Amino acid sequence: MLAALRTPAGAKALAAAGALADKDPLTAASALRATGIDPGLAAAALTQADLRRRARAKFGADAALMFFTRAGLEQATRHQVAARRAERLRNAGVTRLTDLGCGIGADAIAAARAGIAVTAIDADPLTAAIAAANMSALSLAVDVTHASAEDVDLSTVDAAFCDPARRKGSNRVFDPAAFSPSWNFVTHLAATVPYTVLKLAPGIDHALIPARAEAEWVSVDGDVVEAAFWCGPLAQVPRRATLFGHDLVELSGDGATEAPVGAIARYVYDPDGAVIRAHLIASLASAIDGNLGDPTIAYIYADGRASTPYARGYEISDVMSFSLKRLRTTLRERGIGRLTIKKRGSALEPEQLRRDLRLDGPNELTIILTRVAGAPTVLLCQPLA
């Protein structure tokens, strides 16, 4: 059906489907068929229109020209993350890149736009065809090949980027042994191609970080989206947290230093997930002159009000041991009706707790459910501007 969508009739169907993207699916399908478009082509066009709408967050204006599968879109790199990676590669002197497991082409697109000559490989024939269609749609001279990464001749490769597939059918795969290409291939790639970058799920075990590689965790608007291992000459620091939001900011360190543990202070800071994943809590605590309240919980407490892009800050008004009855009484006395519940290190379910509290009042508050020195604790606080 991809070939049909790339014909003049397919382009017409896609344009019509795009105009109906905000309609109810049944209404849109009926309207499209009423124009005389083949039912199969109409269904495919409506699916693409929906995927293109969803893809705007990752690809911006490019999404309107591209082709997608649901799995391919889900695993694709966000455009700003891919562009930043391409910039690092270009600045490291990379001029030719082999993209092993290119998916629908997000990283190949960014690298090509950065002036890097790209060869893209994918083991799935449909995915490779979609990547090729996307390069054509965006007028990029990227050679896309359907092949297994293990079969590619890497002897003359300048640099390699590998994003192993982490799905079996519609299910996610969390065991690296089940990745494609194989984990054995992935871990030995840097020995063959020193300039290698590996893209992996953010939950990857730190024990799997290659020796002397830089391990980077990336978040976009507070959502941790990937880990990337920069191997060989590409490694700059042991650990890095890269945060995309209003601005691009990076925090780096050795990832091995332990943060100090001490008392609760006036302010509490909730670090970005990329900082936590990168094991850079100690670096952030040092930067804001703070400490942990519990060695196993990543909340940082500080006496001073710090301006940091790496954490959300709150001013604490009260600290109490957790008791549902006492908490309910305190919140009702303060007329709290709108409650934000954050938690780390607590087994309580926020929505169930909200129902149990049965609040009704005009005021608003944030509570943090956590542990301090091992004890269940509630912090009553207000977010800092």
Q: What is the pLDDT of residue 169?
A: 60
CB 370 within 8 A of CB 297: yes
Q: Which residues of the chain have pLDDT under 70?
A: 167-171, 173
Q: Look up tokens 């065809």; give the residue.
A: 129
Q: What is the pLDDT of residue 378?
A: 97
CA distance readout (Å), 236 to 240, 280, 286: 9, 16, 21
**How many Å apart are CA 196 and CA 180, to the nearest integer?**
17
Domains of the chain (ranges, CATH numbers):
2-65 (no CATH), 73-251 (3.40.50.150)
Q: Count the Cβ atoms, other than its own, within 10 Å of residue 69.
A: 19
Alpha carbons within 13 angstroms on the beta-carbon side of residue 226 total 21
Phi-psi domain of 115 (left: phi exceeds 0; alpha: psi -120 through 50; beta: other): left
CB 342 within 8 A of CB 379: no
CA 287, 218, 213, 89 torsion-angle sign: negative
Q: What is the pLDDT of residue 172?
A: 72
CB 31 within 8 A of CB 23: yes
Q: What is the pLDDT of residue 331?
A: 96
CA distance readout (Å), 238 to 190, 232, 281: 16, 12, 14
**How many Å apart are CA 323 and CA 325, to the nearest integer?**
5
Q: In DSSP terms, which residues pair with 365 in a beta bridge? A: 339
Q: What is the pLDDT of residue 170?
A: 60
Report residue 294: phi and psi, to 5°.
Answer: -150, 135
CA 73, 78, 79, 82 torsion-angle sign: negative
Q: Count the Cβ atoms, other than its own, within 10 Å of residue 203.
A: 9
Q: What is the pLDDT of residue 168?
A: 64
Exposure string of 296-333, with b = 16+ CB inside 10 Å and e = fewer, is ebbbbbbeeebebebbebbebeeeeebeeeebbebbee
Report residue 109: phi and psi, to 5°.
Answer: -60, -50
The pLDDT tens digits for 356-379 are 999 999 999 999 999 999 999 999
Q: Count the Cβ atoms, other than its own, within 10 Å of residue 161.
A: 30
Would you state the structure tokens that stand for residue 342, as one six-digit string?
């954050």
Q: What is the pLDDT of residue 135?
A: 98
Report angle CA 370, 374, 379 to the nearest 5 degrees. Answer: 30
Which residues, at least 6 apart from 19, have a Cβ–Cβ distance to it below 8 Å?
none
Q: Look up tokens 């075990």; give the residue.
A: 205
| pTM for the predicted model, two decimal places | 0.91
Which residues, at least 6 apart from 120, have a Cβ–Cβ distance to it below 8 Å?
98, 99, 102, 105, 108, 128, 131, 135, 142, 143, 144, 145
Bridging pattern class, strands 311-321 and 375-383: antiparallel
